[in-house]
Amino acid sequence: MSQQSIHQERQAHIATPTLIDAPAPVTNCPDCSLWLPPGTLACPDCHAITYARYLNGLAQTATAQEQASDWIGARQTWHQALAWLPPETKQSQAITAHLAQLDAQAKAVTDQKAKWTKRLGPLAPVVFFLLKIKSLLFSAKFLFSFLAFFGFYWAIFGWKFGLGFTLGILIHESGHYITARRKGLKVDLPIFLPGFGAYVRWYNQGVSLETLSQIALAGPLYGLFVAIACLGLAWKTGNALFLALAYTTAFLNTLNLIPLLGLDGAQATYALNRLQRVLITATSILLFLFLREWVYLAIAAGMGWRTFTGVAPEEPSKRGMIVFTLLLFALAVVMWAAPDASRGPYGMHPR
């Protein structure tokens, strides 16, 4: 990209309204602490970008705008980022190239719409209207499935447990949804299947095994927070309902860590090497011997099978290993602290 093109992009920012307030002036390099004259965009000593943190925030905002198909807002935000980058940097050139892609994409959409408008004739407004409400229809699908799921468990266990159980599943699925969105992936709202569970469909765009592991483990991680909250409420109020919800939530999220079929544990295992799988197998066996919960034996069996089958990555995920192991222990602690929930009035037995 030529310096002239970069300069033109920078000049276009002058007439563009800002979306995020300008950052406070930086007088010292964030990396080496060298004193910087006002207006310095990159440290002359270590070459660090002066306003890197501010630029990261702009990039996240622009990415979210692109995911929401707010192309005008995304272009404005990227233009704003250009004003805080030296023109000779790779980051500046990358943003300039990305802006050109956005322009090409916007032009292609406009041309395609004009093409279909001509083809459809008087039916064009109706077709475009239906396309606009597509997202609303999918939101309705989420809502209807949520209500059906709640109604199913209300009929079996009563509305209090049914509501708490459904909200726990929703928060678990929200973990997948939020993490996938943060990774810049296209993702649909959760769909609930009464009697089976729920799922979030997201679209793999060549993500790394590390990212796949993070998205998979985010569900049980959010579920762990729910289980801990219910356990705290049980201790505070003495209400057996919260004790039952704590145990049930912990058990189901542990169940999701079994590395088989389409469960979360299977997706997370792809990022683990064979040694890590052996260690998780041993951990699960120890937790089974301590708790006598069959789900840990199932995890051990599944992880042991995964140790000798499939492909293991050359660069395993240390973070995935740590999170997987901590989830096993933390969920076990919750089930140990609420051992009578499965036999209580609000447990997995009908009222």
Residues 138-158 pLDDT 10s:
577 888 888 899 999 999 999
Q: What was the pLDDT predicted at 18? A: 40
**Residue 347 in this model has a pLDDT that exceeds 80:** no
Q: What was the pLDDT predicted at 129? A: 52
Shortest CA distance to 167 belongs to which of 196, 187, 147?
147
Shortest CA distance to 63 belongs to which of 98, 88, 28?
98
Of 199-208, 211-220, 238-247, least confident by mean pLDDT is 199-208
Q: What was the pLDDT predicted at 122? A: 64
Q: How many Cα atoms occupy the beta-carbon half-sphere of 59 within 13 Å?
A: 16
From residue 20, give the alpha-carbon distance in Å to each of 25, 57, 137, 189, 197. Answer: 15, 9, 32, 28, 40
Q: What was the pLDDT predicted at 131? A: 56
Q: What was the pLDDT predicted at 185? A: 81
Residue 216 φ then ψ, to 5°: -65, -45
Q: What was the pLDDT predicted at 151? A: 93
Shortest CA distance to 291 belongs to which of 335, 252, 243?
335
Q: What was the pLDDT predicted at 253? A: 96
Q: What was the pLDDT predicted at 264? A: 93
Of 28-37, 45-54, 126-135, 214-223, least confident by mean pLDDT is 126-135
* Cβ(92)–Cβ(6) below 8 Å: yes
Q: What was the pLDDT predicted at 113? A: 63
* pLDDT level of residue 3 (50, 70, 90 thresholds): very low
34 CB burial (10 A radius; 0-12, 13-18, 19+):
middle
**What value does the mean pLDDT take over residues 52-57?**
78
Q: What was the pLDDT predicted at 320? A: 92
**Residue 291 in this model has a pLDDT that exceeds 80:** yes
pTM here is 0.61
- For residues 316 and 104, the model is more confident at 316
**Residue 10 in this model has a pLDDT that exceeds 60:** no
Of 63-72, 280-289, 339-348, least confident by mean pLDDT is 339-348
pLDDT tens-digit map of 169-202? 999 999 998 998 888 788 888 889 998 888 888 7
Shortest CA distance to 210 belongs to which of 60, 56, 324?
324
From residue 3, give the alpha-carbon distance in Å to each of 79, 89, 167, 263, 293. Answer: 16, 11, 54, 50, 65
Of 10-14, 65-69, 80-84, 174-178, least confident by mean pLDDT is 10-14
**Residue 351 in this model has a pLDDT that exceeds 60:** no
pLDDT tens-digit map of 22-53? 777 777 877 777 777 877 877 787 777 877 77
Mean pLDDT for all residues in the chain: 80
